[in-house]
Amino acid sequence: MQCSKHVQVSWLVLVVTWRMEIVQSALCDTLTPLGFEVYPFKIGWYNAVLSSSLRLPYSEDTLAVVVLSTPSMFERVFRPFLKSGSCVGVNDPIDQCIRHCITSCVSQCFPDQEVNISYDYEMLPSRKPKFLAQTAAHVAGAAYYYQRKDITVDYWGEKKMFGVCIHPKLGGWFAIRALLVFPGVVVGEELQQRPPPDCVPSQESRVELLERFNLCWQDGTYRDIFPPAERYSQEQQTYFSTPPGQRMALLRQWGLFSVAGNGTKAKEPRSEGGNTES
Ligand SMILES: *[C@@H]1O[C@H](CO)[C@@H](O)[C@H](O)[C@H]1NC(C)=O
Ligand SMILES: *[C@@H]1O[C@H](CO)[C@@H](O)[C@H](O)[C@H]1NC(C)=O
- CB 129, CB 176: distance < 8 Å: no
What is the per-residue pLDDT for 154? 84
Distance of CA 116 from the midpoint of ligand 1 (Å): 6
Closest residue (by CA) to atom 11 of ligand 1?
Answer: 116
What is the per-residue pLDDT for 170? 97
Mean pLDDT of 53-77: 96
- CB 171, CB 162: distance < 8 Å: no
Q: When comparing pLDDT for 244 and 202, which is higher?
A: 202
- CB 250, CB 190: distance < 8 Å: no
The yes-or-no verdict on residue 86 having pLDDT over 90 is no
| pTM of structure | 0.86
Distance of CA 79 from the midpoint of ligand 1 (Å): 32
- CB 120, CB 36: distance < 8 Å: no
Q: When comparing pLDDT for 176 and 5, which is higher?
A: 176
Mean pLDDT of 213-228: 93
Closest residue (by CA) to atom 10 of ligand 1?
Answer: 116
**How many angstroms separate the most distant Cα atoms in the chain?**
59
Closest residue (by CA) to atom 2 of ligand 2?
Answer: 262
Please report the atom of ligand 1 found closest to the CA of residue 181: 1
If residue 65 lies in a helix (H) or strand (E), which one and from where to where? strand 62-69
Q: pLDDT category, 58, cuts 50, 70, 90?
A: very high
C-alpha distances (whole Å) from 210 to each of 137, 161, 169 are 18, 7, 19
Distance of CA 92 from the midpoint of ligand 2 (Å): 17
Q: Is 165 helix (H, G, I), strand (E, B) or coil?
A: strand
Mean pLDDT of 35-44: 98
- CB 36, CB 216: distance < 8 Å: no
Mean pLDDT of 124-135: 93
Torsion sign over Cα 27, 29, 33, 35? positive
- CB 74, CB 36: distance < 8 Å: no
Q: Which of 114, 115, 119 to mutate to test ligand 1, by most ligand atoms within 8 A of the CB atom?
A: 114
